DNA sequence: CCGCGGGCCTGAGAGC
DNA sequence: TGCTCTCAGGCCCGCG
């Protein structure tokens, strides 16, 4: 599911009900997520207080008073739902608009704030992991991540350097979390269309021979920032699984220019092209071959 | 080291 | 109605 804007939307939904609250009860209905939950998972979380809910790339990082960090990833189909006391809040009794209430609620947190937080993930590509805060920099899942695209470290010079000499296409390079961390299939397609760059172009063409940025690299950086900010503002994109923690839909999918719009006219001003779908490294790419060069 | 393809899972939708 | 096939917002791992 979720790329950076969706994960950030989830973070903003979880923070107000989790920060400062204690885990009164943790129930793992099934622990066989991407990696098995440790046997003592519930025990290690219960009784601790949340001191912060952060995000790094597509990972949620919950700081616990025990000194542990609870890392959570939504995979392709993960979502969180929050219910307050008085609403449907019994573990396993969540009601979804899709009518599959309770199904795939793998981990349920009962908070002292009166909120129940359920992690739902049909495909179970998501994961949860606990490690001591001081191991953060050594955490293998986070170690190799590139800069946050909305942070100061991400700029044309850095992107050019990261793509310098890369023997792959631009689409694959931007999906590579070591280059920049948080983009996924949707927002890469969208950013490339906005910056009029072809996904098939060699990634190394963002840099000069000496590794400094080409002029269009700056445009791409700006487009990535702009599309992510707009999507966050819209509460993310809701295709199948993603909802805000309140159950509300995000609505950025109505602003897609190319993603899942094969055969539709290219929205670029003055462009008469048609959106094409191709497959790159096993994944769909949507783009306009007329204006994206 | 790098880049690529396979695999992990379930469910929705298309086509027959 | 029901079957089969394809595809899906991610990412680790093993191979060459």
- What CATH number did the domain enclosing A209 receive? 1.10.8.50
Angle at the Cα of A109 from the Cα atoms of A107 and A113, rounded to 5 degrees: 165
Domain match, A106 and A200 both: no
Spatial distance between the Cα atoms of A183 and A119, rounded to a whole number of angstroms: 22
Its domain, for residue A189, covers 156-288
pTM of the model: 0.95
Domain match, A107 and A54 both: yes
In a domain, A75, yes or no: yes
Domain match, A113 and A192 both: no
In a domain, A147, yes or no: no
Q: Look up tokens 């055969």; give the residue.
A: A263
Indicate the DSSP class of residue A32.
B
Select from A243, A247, A240, A242 the least CA-distant residue to A89. Answer: A247
Is beta strand A127-132 parallel, antiparallel or unpaired with respect to A59-64? unpaired
Query: Does the annotation mark A16 as catalytic?
Result: no
Name residue A280's beta-bridge partners: A283
- The tokens describing A5, both together, are 């804007």
Residue with CA nearest C1' of nucleotide C11: A75
Residue with CA nearest C1' of nucleotide B2: A167
| Catalytic residue from among A44, A123, A225, A283 | A283
| Catalytic residue from among A11, A58, A171, A243 | A58
In a domain, A172, yes or no: yes
Query: Does the annotation mark A171 as catalytic?
Result: no
Domain match, A231 and A174 both: yes
A78 Cβ within 7 A of any nucleic strand C atom: no
From first to last of the 293 residues of chain A, give the pLDDT tens digit.
Answer: 699 999 999 999 999 999 999 999 999 999 999 999 999 999 999 999 999 999 999 999 999 999 999 999 999 999 999 998 866 533 344 433 333 347 899 999 999 999 999 999 999 999 999 999 999 999 999 999 999 999 999 999 999 999 998 999 999 999 999 999 999 999 999 999 999 999 999 999 999 999 999 999 999 999 999 999 999 999 999 987 778 899 899 999 999 999 999 999 999 999 999 999 999 999 999 999 999 99
Spatial distance between the Cα atoms of A118 and A79, rounded to a whole number of angstroms: 8
Domain match, A73 and A173 both: no
- What CATH number did the domain enclosing A64 receive? 3.20.190.10
Please identify, among A138, A168, A203, the residue that sits at the C-terminal boundary of a domain: A138
Query: Does the annotation mark A240 as catalytic?
Result: no
Q: How many separate domains does chain A show?
A: 2
Q: Smallest CA–C1' separation from A282: which nucleotide?
A: B5
A168 Cβ within 7 A of any nucleic strand C atom: no
């Amino acid at each position: 599911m979720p790329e950076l804007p969706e994960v950030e939307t989830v973070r903003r939904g979880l923070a107000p009900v989790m920060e400062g609250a204690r885990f009164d009860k943790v129930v793992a209905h099934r622990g066989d997520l991407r990696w098995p939950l440790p046997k003592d998972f519930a025990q290690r979380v219960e009784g601790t207080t949340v001191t912060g809910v952060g995000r790094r790339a597509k990972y949620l990082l919950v700081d616990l008073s025990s000194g542990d960090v609870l890392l959570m990833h939504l995979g392709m189909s993960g979502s969180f739902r929050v219910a307050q006391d008085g609403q449907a809040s019994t573990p396993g009794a969540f009601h979804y608009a899709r009518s599959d209430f309770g199904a795939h609620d793998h981990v349920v947190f009962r908070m002292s704030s009166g909120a129940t937080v359920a992690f739902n993930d049909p495909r179970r590509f998501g994961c949860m992991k606990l490690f001591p805060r001081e191991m953060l920099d050594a955490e293998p899942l986070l170690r190799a991540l590139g800069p946050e695209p909305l942070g100061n470290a991400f700029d044309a010079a850095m992107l050019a350097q990261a793509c310098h000499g890369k023997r792959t296409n631009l689409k694959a390079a931007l999906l590579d979390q070591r280059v920049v961390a948080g983009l996924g299939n949707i927002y890469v397609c969208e950013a490339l269309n906005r910056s009029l760059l072809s996904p098939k172009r060699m990634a190394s063409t963002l840099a000069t021979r000496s590794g400094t940025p080409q002029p269009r690299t700056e445009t791409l950086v700006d487009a990535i920032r702009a599309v992510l900010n707009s999507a966050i503002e819209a509460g993310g994109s809701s295709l199948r699984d993603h909802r805000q923690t309140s159950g509300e839909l995000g609505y950025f999918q109505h602003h897609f220019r190319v993603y899942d719009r094969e055969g539709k006219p290219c929205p670029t001003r003055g462009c008469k092209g048609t959106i094409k779908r191709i497959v790159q490294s096993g994944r769909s790419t949507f783009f306009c071959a007329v204006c994206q060069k």
